[in-house]
Amino acid sequence: MRNTEERVLAVKQRAKEIERQRRIRQDRIVMGAHAAASLLLIIGLSLAMPGIMAGMPESEYAYLGAAAGIFEQNGGFGYVLIGLLAFLLGVSVTILGYRLRLRKQLKHKGSENDDG
């Protein structure tokens, strides 16, 4: 039979394990949602490109070196769109890197707590 201290310790360990599993489940949901949103953005842009290209005269995009010129027809809007997409990509990569570093630190702390 366990004494009271051993029971309390077992309950605390189980609570930590449940919290760890909840955190892992949340991380998987967030990463899955992020991957799905990225995939939807790529698919949406790839479906929109034929419409953009069809609206342009052939002479404007015949030169492959000027492929980015498809955004020029709307003035500055295309450049703002590219800047916004680049910013969002940078934010996404930064958040992903931060979450990976945080996960590594949590694993490291968890292994230290288990040893000591």
Q: Does some domain include residue 114?
A: yes
pTM assigned to the model? 0.47
- Cα 109 from Cα 116, distance rounded (Å): 11
User: Hey, what are 46's tokens?
Assistant: 């790839």
Together in a domain, 7 and 50: yes
- Cα 7 from Cα 41, distance rounded (Å): 51
The C-alpha torsion from 91 through 93 and 94 to 98, rounded to 10°, is: 140
Q: Does some domain include residue 6?
A: yes
- Cα 102 from Cα 86, distance rounded (Å): 24
- Cα 52 from Cα 56, distance rounded (Å): 7
The boundaries of the domain holding residue 103 are 70-116
Indicate the residue type of 48.
A
What's the pLDDT tens digit per position in 50-104? Answer: 777 777 666 555 555 555 555 556 666 667 777 888 898 888 888 888 888 888 8
Residues in the chain: 116
What's the pLDDT tens digit per position in 30-42? Answer: 888 888 888 888 8
pLDDT band at 17 (very low <50, low <70, confident <90, very high): very high
- Cα 68 from Cα 79, distance rounded (Å): 9
- Greater confidence (113 vs 11) lies with 11
Together in a domain, 47 and 87: no
Q: Which residues contact 73 (CB under 8 A, 6 or more apart)?
A: 55, 56, 60
Q: Does some domain include residue 63?
A: no
Asked whether the beta carbons of 53 and 70 are under 8 A apart, the reply is yes
